[in-house]
Amino acid sequence: MREQWRDGNHFALLPTAECFVPALLEAIDHAHTSILIELYLVEDGEMGERFFAALIRAVARGVDVRLLIDACGSWSLSDESKQRLVRAGVSLREFNVLSLRHVGRFISRDHRKLVVIDGHTAFTGGFGVNDQFLSSWFEVAVRITGPCVEDWIQLFNRVWRSRRTRDFATGARRRSSAAATSETAHGEGSMVGRVVWGQGYRYQAIRRSLQHQVGSARERIWICTPYFVPTRTLRRQLRRAARRGVDVRLLLAARDHDHPSVRYAGQRFFARLLRSGVRIFEFQPRFIHAKFSLCDGWATIGSCNFDHWSLQWNLEANQEIDDPDFATELGGLFEHCFDQCHEISAAHWASRSRGQRLREWGYGVMDALITRLR
């Protein structure tokens, strides 16, 4: 499967859980034939109960429900909840279950976030089924209709039928199975987009696409990511863009970070970026888990954090959009977030404490060592 731009789509930006959670649940409740779901993080809790109940109601209506979860990301999901779904008729599979025969391969995770309803409407973003998305984490999603939905279905089918997935009910490794079918309606809108995906270091279309957009941007490069540990090439491109007059801004997580070690590892790059003119904003109200970027009129929203872990090991997928109205809307969301940030200045960063510098160095060494593990 190769990425290609498709016309005739419609993309709806769904900022914050107040927008995308009701939209997801409503879509599930109105499904008639099929529901395909691929998620990294699924846990018990309030959101889990609402999500599971909606899936069970769908099965009762005769809908074919397929749920693919990552065995590591959804580690804390109870067997009771899994059995409840299977007994109700949900087809549940787990990606890359730990095996003593393939311990080294366990580091590769399915980090994608995807819901497809009736082969017609898809949702993607950085979301999962976890109570933190309801209130304490800031997240963004996009609703998709049109030809791009078919590409999302193909991505789902590739993993669903792969040898790295197992049925929860039997524990059997699945070598092949019936593919999910598509009822995608063409001509849903007039917006152009394409699905890009990554499969660790084996296939990195997401990395290549971002680097191309950053390298060719003339006006702005705005990137939002909660886990900022960029590759050397991306760091160099960001500095060069800022020096040639492009408005380069990074929207990063600050408070209540779920992986503070990753935050420190990325901060070791701040000094050179700031000296080159890159502006760095840390979001203050809550942990920002969203992954979205804007380069001139090109936008991307999806699962990829643009860090070493996502690019070298995980299965990732993003929706790219080339539409001026959508870019304007996403730019407005960026501006709203920037207004709620603390901007780090080069002078302030140069005066940071020795303790901060030591944490950057220590976690940076750990990140460099892990990055070399392939």
Largest CA distance in the chain: 63
Q: Is 111 a catalytic residue?
A: yes
| Contacts with 232 (C-beta within 8 Å, 6 or more apart), sequence order | none
Single out the residue of 181, 179, 272, 258 nearest to residue 226, CA to CA.
258
**Which of 289, 307, 308, 367 is labelled catalytic?**
289
Amino acid 166: pLDDT: 87
The first and second tokens of residue 123, run together, are 């949702």
Q: Is 367 a catalytic residue?
A: no
Q: Is 118 a catalytic residue?
A: yes
Give the separation between CA 217 and CA 215, rounded to whole angstroms: 6
User: Is the distance from CB of 43 to CB of 130 less than 8 angstroms?
Assistant: yes
* CA distances for 177 relative to 22, 171, 173, 184, angstroms: 32, 15, 11, 21
The single-letter DSSP state of residue 289 is -
Q: Are 6-189 and 195-371 the same fold in CATH?
A: yes
Amino acid 374: pLDDT: 47
**Which of 82, 113, 257, 308 is labelled catalytic?**
113
Q: Where are the beta strands (DSSP E) in 89-204?
A: 91-95, 114-117, 121-125, 137-138, 140-145, 165-167, 191-199
Architecture of domain 195-371: 2-Layer Sandwich (3.30)
The single-letter DSSP state of residue 172 is P
Contacts 24+ apart (CB under 8 A), 157-161: 158/1, 159/38, 159/68, 159/95, 159/110, 159/112, 159/315, 160/36, 160/38, 160/66, 160/68, 160/93
Q: Where are the domains of the chain?
A: 6-189, 195-371
pLDDT < 50 regions, the chain = 103, 374
Amino acid 199: pLDDT: 80
**Which of 167, 247, 258, 296 is labelled catalytic?**
296
DSSP codes of every residue in 173-233 = BPS--PPPP--PPS-S-SEEEEEEEEETBT-BHHHHHHHHHHHH-SSEEEEEESS----HH
Q: Is 113 a catalytic residue?
A: yes
Residue count of the chain: 374
Q: Is 10 a catalytic residue?
A: no
User: Is the distance from CB of 346 to CB of 36 less than 8 angstroms?
Assistant: no
Amino acid 74: pLDDT: 93
**Which of 70, 291, 307, 367 is labelled catalytic?**
291
Q: In this structure, which topology does domain 6-189 adopt according to CATH?
A: Endonuclease; Chain A (3.30.870)
The single-letter DSSP state of residue 32 is S
**Which of 70, 110, 118, 367 is labelled catalytic?**
118
**Which of 10, 82, 111, 257 is labelled catalytic?**
111
For helices 79-88 and 46-60, give the axis angle rounded to 10 degrees: 20
Question: Count of H helices and E strands in the chain?
Answer: 13, 18
Give this prediction's pTM: 0.93
Amino acid 354: pLDDT: 94
Give the separation between CA 316 and CA 264, rounded to whole angstroms: 23
Q: Is 30 a catalytic residue?
A: no
